[in-house]
C-alpha cells in the first residue's frame, strides 16, 4: 500500500509539472529583419527564455538562411509566407497543445492572418508590437538601411503602382499599402490586407478563428515615425477620402459592423491596447518585462 501511495504521489507530481509547463511562443520579425539577429529577435528570444524557464520559443524563418529570411520580408508574397508558416506550426510537435504568438511590425498583422486562417494548432494570445493592422500609407520614411538601393526602389515602386497585380504579387509592403485617397483601388486590388480585414465580404471562418483568441494585445509606439498613421497599430486609420484626420478603431466600420469580431472581443475584455513612449520598435527591457511578459505566462 505504501508503495502504491508513493507511486500515485509521483504520478500526481508529474501531472502537476506538465500542467505548469510554459506555453510555447512563436515570434515573427518585421521588415528587413531576420529570425535570429542577435540584436533583435535573438535578443527577444533570449529575454523570454531567461524570464520563463523551460519555455519553447520558435522564431520564424522564411527561407533556408538568414539572408533569404531578410529578403523574403521584402519580396515574398505574404499569402505564401503565411501558408508556409501555417505548415511549420502544424508540424511542430512542441505546439500541438497551443501557443502564444508575438509579431513585430509587419509580423504583427502576418501572425493575425495565421490566427484567422490556420486555427490548428490553436493560437492562444496574440501580441502585436507595432503591427499595422489597418495598413500604412505614404510610408516608408525609415526603411531599414536608409541608403539601401532596395529601400529607394521600393519607395518608387509603391508610389507608381502599389495596386497593380505585379507589384501586389511580389512586394510585401504593397500588400498592406492602404491609401485613403484610393479606397476603391485598395479594396479591389489588395491581395492581403483587404482580405484579412474583410473589405470584400465577410469570411465567417476568419471571424470565428480570431474571436477564439484569449487576448489580442496591440502595442502602439506613441512617437512612431515609421508607420503612417501610427493609430493603425491600434486598428485606427484615416477617415476615408482624406489623409489628415484619423479615427480610432471604435469609429471604423470594421468595428461598428463587427466584420472581424473585434467589437464582440472588446466587450468580452479580449482586446488590450498598450502604448509605449518611443519610436517604432524602440522599447526597454524593463517595459517588456512589465507590459508583455505577463501575457506569456
How far apart are alpha carbons 252 and 258 in whole angstroms? 9
Out of 29, 133, 178, 280, which one is annotated catalytic?
A: 280
pLDDT score of 20? 63
Fold of 25-295: Rossmann fold (3.40.50)
Going from N- to C-terminal start, the domains of the chain cover 25-295
Is 149 an active-site residue? no
pLDDT score of 147? 45
pLDDT score of 125? 98
**Could you tell me which of 277, 111, 290, 95 has the C-alpha nearest to residue 210?**
111
pLDDT score of 22? 95
Out of 34, 40, 73, 105, which one is annotated catalytic?
A: 105
Is 105 an active-site residue? yes
Instruction: Map residue 221 onto helix, strand or coil.
Output: strand
Q: How far apart are the first and last CA of the chain?
A: 38
* Residues sharing a CB contact under 8 Å with residue 217, sequence separation 6 or more, in sequence order: 125, 126, 127, 128, 272, 274, 292, 295
Is 224 an active-site residue? yes
Out of 224, 228, 232, 258, which one is annotated catalytic?
A: 224
> Which segments in the chain show pLDDT lower than 70?
1-20, 137-153, 155-156, 159
pLDDT score of 205? 98
Amino acid at each position: 500500500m505504501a508503495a502504491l501511495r508513493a507511486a500515485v504521489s509521483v504520478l500526481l507530481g508529474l501531472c502537476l509539472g506538465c500542467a505548469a509547463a510554459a506555453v510555447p511562443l512563436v515570434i515573427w520579425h518585421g521588415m528587413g529583419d531576420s529570425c535570429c539577429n542577435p540584436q533583435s529577435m535573438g535578443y527577444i528570444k533570449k529575454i523570454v527564455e531567461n524570464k520563463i524557464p523551460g519555455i519553447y520559443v520558435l522564431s520564424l524563418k522564411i527561407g533556408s538562411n538568414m539572408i533569404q529570411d531578410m529578403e523574403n520580408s521584402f519580396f515574398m508574397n505574404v499569402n505564401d509566407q503565411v501558408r508556409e508558416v501555417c505548415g511549420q506550426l502544424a508540424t511542430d510537435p512542441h505546439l500541438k497543445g497551443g501557443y502564444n504568438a508575438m509579431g513585430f511590425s509587419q509580423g504583427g498583422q502576418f501572425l493575425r492572418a495565421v490566427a484567422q486562417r490556420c486555427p490548428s494548432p490553436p493560437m492562444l494570445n496574440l501580441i502585436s508590437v507595432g503591427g499595422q493592422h489597418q495598413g500604412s500609407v505614404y510610408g516608408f520614411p525609415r526603411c531599414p538601411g536608409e541608403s539601401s538601393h532596395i529601400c529607394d526602389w521600393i519607395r518608387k515602386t509603391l508610389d507608381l503602382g502599389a495596386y497593380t497585380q505585379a507589384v501586389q504579387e511580389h512586394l510585401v509592403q504593397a500588400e498592406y499599402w492602404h491609401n485613403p485617397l484610393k479606397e476603391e483601388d485598395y479594396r479591389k486590388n489588395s491581395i492581403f490586407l483587404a482580405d484579412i480585414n474583410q473589405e470584400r465580404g465577410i469570411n465567417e471562418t476568419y471571424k470565428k478563428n480570431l474571436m477564439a483568441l484569449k487576448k489580442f494585445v496591440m502595442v502602439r509606439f506613441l512617437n512612431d515615425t515609421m508607420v503612417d498613421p501610427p493609430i493603425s497599430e491600434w486598428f485606427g486609420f484615416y477617415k476615408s477620402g482624406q489623409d489628415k484626420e484619423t479615427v480610432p478603431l471604435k469609429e471604423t466600420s470594421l468595428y461598428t459592423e463587427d466584420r472581424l469580431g473585434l467589437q464582440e472581443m472588446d466587450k468580452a475584455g479580449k482586446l488590450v491596447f498598450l502604448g509605449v513612449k518611443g519610436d517604432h520598435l524602440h522599447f526597454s527591457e524593463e517595459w517588456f518585462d512589465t507590459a508583455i511578459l505577463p501575457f506569456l505566462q
